[in-house]
Amino acid sequence: MPTDEDSLRFMRRAIELSRVHMEAGEGGPFGAVVVKDGQIVGEGWNRVTSSHDPTAHAEVVAIRQACQRLGTFQLRGCEIYTSCEPCPMCLGAVYWARLDRLWYANGREDAAAIQFDDEWLYREVALPAEARRLPSRQLLRDEALDVFRAWAKKPDKTPY
């Protein structure tokens, strides 16, 4: 567990990344760092507009970098510091990466006040598929289940 002083330093780095890269025109005002054993192992900032990638949020970028550096797809033993409370996509990435703890500075309401309002998405994903705005339809389930059955029987799979 980091000391209070360490936590402040890591959060200040996430905030610094958000400012520097926002001012450089690389994306929105968001930054994140992944920390393991008191060391930053991944840094990210919002690169949505500069990389033409809607998934290039600060948290996702930092998680990807940390995983590459550590040679793993799970970040147990790590924490993430982010300049803003994560959107639903990033929160999902934090959970999938198995990070031990999430620290954030600005809240969802602060982001909404500058036109980064994710509240609609939080509400939308909680709805059953048929009630969502995005039309969806299931196709070829039986064919796809064959692949799942093969995965279930695969002796050399890497579970996650």
Would you please indicate which residues are annotated as catalytic (active-site) residues? 59
CA distances from 126 to 5, 28, 93, 123, 133 (A): 37, 26, 17, 5, 12
Chain Cα centroid distance, residue 96: 9
**36: which residues sit within 8 A by CB, 6+ positions away?**
66, 70, 75, 77, 78, 79
DSSP one-letter code for 153 = H
Give yes or no for a contact between 83 and 105, defined as CB atoms under 8 angstroms apart. yes
Give yes or no for a contact between 62 and 34, defined as CB atoms under 8 angstroms apart. yes
How far apart (Å, rounded) are the C-alpha atoms in residues 101 and 104?
Answer: 10
